């Protein structure tokens, strides 16, 4: 069962990009002018830090292996099997949050039962 966690983004005033850490996980926030984009701070390909990546032509380009991720869809232009997770941004009063889906950590017996059911 997937849980949705609200990650506070802080004040975006005057910042184009920044990282936030919540419950031992880091996120990259990009202010594109017309919207905020929130993703994991590490590249899904080889776990390089995306904060140093280039934003070009609507894509975030990883500085490690130059994988380009579409900032509207998360699709990778280099490898379709490696999408970038994008987390929706919501406002609650004056605060901005990213809504991050978190899969619960399963015990080994729960993993084996899920595998046996074919839902691994």
Residue 10 belongs to a domain with what CATH number? 2.102.10.10
Structurally, the chain folds into a number of domains equal to 1
> What tokens does 62 get?
């990883």
In this predicted structure, what is the pLDDT of residue 5? 87
pLDDT tens digit sequence for 58-75: 999 999 999 999 999 999
Q: pTM of the predicted model, to two decimals?
A: 0.83
Average pLDDT over residues 82-109: 90
What distance in Å separates the CA atoms of residue 26 and residue 9, rounded to the nearest whole number?
Answer: 11
Residue 70's pLDDT is what? Answer: 97
Average pLDDT, the chain: 91
Which residue would you say has higher pLDDT here, 89 or 3?
Answer: 89
Q: Structural domain of residue 42, as residue ranges?
A: 3-117
CA distance 20 to 38: 10
């Amino acid at each position: 069962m997937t849980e949705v966690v609200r990650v506070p983004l802080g004040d975006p005033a005057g910042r184009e990009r920044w990282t936030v850490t919540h419950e031992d996980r880091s996120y990259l926030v990009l202010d594109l002018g017309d919207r905020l984009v929130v993703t994991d701070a590490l590249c899904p390909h080889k776990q390089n830090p995306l904060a140093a990546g280039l934003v070009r032509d609507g894509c975030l380009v990883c500085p490690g292996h130059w994988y380009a991720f579409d900032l509207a869809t998360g699709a990778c232009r280099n490898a379709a099997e490696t999408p970038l997770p994008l987390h929706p941004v919501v406002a609650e009063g004056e605060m901005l949050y990213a809504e991050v889906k978190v899969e619960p950590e399963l015990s080994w017996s729960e993993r084996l039962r899920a595998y046996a059911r074919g839902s691994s």
